[in-house]
Structure 1
Amino acid sequence: MTNGINRRQFGLMAGALAASTALSGTVARAAPSGRVVVGTWGGDYQNLQQQFIVDTLMKDSGINVVFDTANDTVRKTKMLAERRLPRGSMDIACLTGQGAYEMNQNGLLEELDETKVPNMKNVPAVFRNNYSVPHIYTGRVILYNPKFVKTPPTSYADLWDPQYAGKIGVIDIQYQTTIESAAMISGGALDNYEPGKEKLLELKKQGVKIYPTNEAMAQALKTEECVMCIMWNARGYMWKKAGIPVEIAVPKEGLVLYISEMCVPKNAQNKEAAYAYLNAMMEQGPQTAFAESMGYAPTNSTVKLDPELAKLVDYTEEQRKSLMVQKMDYLAKNDAALQDWWNKSFKG
């Protein structure tokens, strides 16, 4: 595996930028340096950053990276609590797409300066907004056990096939995406989940199994208690690597995306170093590492994966035409009502 730039090149590029700025007659900016605090998920997500960014691209760069490890709910709570402080405790916050939207709506995020993240010019429009860097992504797909599902599914509607009654699973914490998927096959849309409710009640009558977490779903697939479910492609990739008997099918309704986003809080203490870190995250080495280890596709269009890996984690040009991002404004307004319906009518 190779990195897009090594640490020597990183320093040379920063120096060259400063020099060229001086020669052009404008005020030169010093290369980013100092402490940068990255609020991130733990496990492989943090470990890959350490290995492919901190220990390689940013080593000897003058930037000291400190990880603040927690889930994104903790990060959002911390940002809200620190909103009136002139200096917050994080320079970068890793958030889900919905989490980043919420923090931006609360006025907590810096407007993204793409001139300081040169790799953003290689990011397709579908991933973009003006307040975050889209790090990695994956699509919502159908996972199925080919031992029981002989014909690969082509639509979310295949989960309603009576021959699989009692063997279909959904995940409690993924109530939003489950209702959304049902809406997509029953006349609804990404900004209208209502038709999906009636459709899910049909699945309830067929004996759908509700699992509390992703891990519980993985166990159900492993034991063959469940033979088909809706899930993120990256999870399917990791579960298949772990020996769980699943294949991945892309629904004809299109690919709704999960995007892992990285944001700079308005009260970040070291914004210049934060931008340098965000740009490094988009380089070939880190993007490839996340694809190989966690099954997430690169958002940088210039990153080239091994063809066999790309078949498993990324999408064809034709499939890319159907990439969709959830309507965050709709979810923000309707999430409480959706969860209430799920708990009382679907689970009850």
Structure 2
Amino acid sequence: MTRETKSMSISRRSFLAGTAGVAASSLILPGMPAFAAGGRIVVGTWGGDYARLLTENIDQPILNPLGYEIVQDQAGDPERRAKMLAERRLPRGSVDTNALQDSSMYQVYAQGLVEELDFDKIPNASKLLPNMRLPYGIPQIFSGMVLLYNPDKMDAPSAYADLFDPKMGNRLGIIDIQYRHNIAVASLIAGGSVTAVEKGKALLMELRKAGVRIYPTNEAFAQALKTEEIDGGPMWKARSLQWQKAGINVLAAVPSEGMVPYVSGFVIPKNAPNKDGAYAYLNALLEPEAQIGFAENMGYAGTTDVEMPKELQERVSFTPEQIEAMNPLDFEFFAKNDLELKTWWDREFIG
């Protein structure tokens, strides 16, 4: 990995530093730019809960009062990346800012599709945790892939290997749209590294032959847990908190191998029609009330040093030791190999 890539990656140390939760002022300091009020901002995002919470925690309380009209362009991560690529030669694209997972953010940057950010236009970026200040995007939330299980159906797993075990058969569920992270977890188990993908593929094929259930979305996976079609599977801690709140009989355990983290953030396409509006949106993502709102309602830890209520901080985050042991994706590797891995996943694994 190059020095530049290392600086872009979210390291274990940076996650550790983020647990301190040191309070920071939410005031814009003198000399920082104000945003021109009003305008239309087209936001590329997933649908479902994520889109709703963007509306409830960012669009309506922060940007609408300033005169901004927010229009959501809802689709999956791969579809929106493909759209950016298809529009790259147009003088004006159709989206002002796009929500993507961490490795996808790096991928579109490596493809030359997004702006290198002008942080003078994002006053709240001064609150970002160490190494969350990426040159190509603003990380908004993060969580870790933990071990979800029904305590009435199985004993608490202690490692990824306890779930990614052919003995689980069709009682194990995994999610299609999390193909990168599932490959990374299988690689970590079988080869000791998130990039040992050939060994990871072999393990996944063993699970496929054993009857692992594959669900298209997070919501379909949750329904399978609720109906007890499956006993468990890997999932973000944040989602487990949401589902517990909804009455699903599920608990979460942190894997001994070290969690694979998930980070979600926003980028600005080079041909965004309203770049000023996009910068206003990125700044709003980092407002304290927006960070706390997502933590309270979606269970994801924030990416800024905003001080959260103690109970909330303990519920959505992790211990320093757990964060120290995290195994972040190698963004450069997964960006370079994404097409091959997705093709293998669709054709060979899912079939």
- Shorter-chain TM-score range: 0.7 to 0.9
In structure 2, how many angstroms separate the alpha carbons of the residues matched to 1:107 and 1:114? Answer: 19
The answer to whether the 8 Å contact 2:122/2:283 transfers is yes
Structure 1 position 134, deviation (Å): 0.4
Larger Rg: 1
Residue 174 of structure 2 is matched in structure 1 by 170
In structure 1, how many angstroms separate the alpha carbons of the residues matched to 2:212 and 2:34? Answer: 59
Structure 1 position 59, deviation (Å): 5.0
Matched residue of 2:295: which SS? helix
Residue 200 of structure 2 is matched in structure 1 by 196
Among residues 307, 313, 324, which one is paired with 2:316 in the alignment?
313
Residue 303 of structure 2 is matched in structure 1 by 299
Cα deviation code 1:267-305 (max 9, x no counterpart) = 23443343232122111211111122222211112241x
Cα 1:118–1:245 shift into 2, 3 Å: same
In structure 2, how many angstroms separate the alpha carbons of the residues matched to 1:346 and 1:140? Answer: 21
AA at the equivalent of 1:335 = D
In structure 1, how many angstroms separate the alpha carbons of the residues matched to 2:41 and 2:185? Answer: 37
Q: Which runs of 5+ in 1 are unaligned?
A: 19-28
- Summarize the alignment of residues 87-236 of structure 1 with structure 2, pairs less than 5 Å apart: 87-150=92-155, 152-160=156-164, 164-204=168-208, 206-236=210-240
Matched residue of 1:332: which SS? helix
Residue 54 of structure 2 is matched in structure 1 by 49
Q: Which 10-residue stretch deviates more, 170-179 or 274-283? A: 170-179
The answer to whether the 8 Å contact 2:144/2:236 transfers is yes
The answer to whether the 8 Å contact 2:44/2:95 transfers is no
AA at the equivalent of 1:318 = E
Give the structure, 1 or 2, with the largest relative contact order (CA under 8 Å, sep 6 or more): 2
CA RMSD of aligned residues (A): 2.9
Residue 333 of structure 1 is matched in structure 2 by 336
Matched residue of 1:255: which SS? coil
Structure 1 position 74, deviation (Å): 4.6
The answer to whether the 8 Å contact 2:144/2:261 transfers is yes
Among residues 237, 241, 245, which one is paired with 2:245 in the alignment?
241
**What TM-score, normalized to structure 2?**
0.81
Cα 1:184–1:128 shift into 2, 3 Å: farther
In structure 1, how many angstroms separate the alpha carbons of the residues matched to 2:335 and 2:301? Answer: 26
Cα deviation code 1:18-71 (max 9, x no counterpart) = 7xxxxxxxxxx664333141313344433333333333334553x423223211
Structure 1 position 343, deviation (Å): 4.8
In structure 2, how many angstroms separate the alpha carbons of the residues matched to 1:81 and 1:332? Answer: 18
The answer to whether the 8 Å contact 2:73/2:95 transfers is no
Residue 10 of structure 2 is matched in structure 1 by none
Structure 1 position 86, deviation (Å): 3.3
Cα deviation code 1:95-127 (max 9, x no counterpart) = 222332232222121111223223323323443
Q: Which runs of 5+ in 2 are unaligned?
A: 1-23
Cα 1:337–1:97 shift into 2, 3 Å: same
AA at the equivalent of 2:313 = A
Q: Which 10-residue stretch deviates more, 166-175 or 230-239? A: 166-175
**What TM-score, normalized to structure 1?**
0.81
Residue 278 of structure 2 is matched in structure 1 by 274
Q: Percent same amino acid at aligned positions?
A: 44
Residue 18 of structure 2 is matched in structure 1 by none
Q: How many residues of Structure 1 are paired with residues of Structure 2 in the alignment?
A: 326
In structure 2, how many angstroms separate the alpha carbons of the residues matched to 1:270 and 1:344? Answer: 39
Residue 22 of structure 1 is matched in structure 2 by none
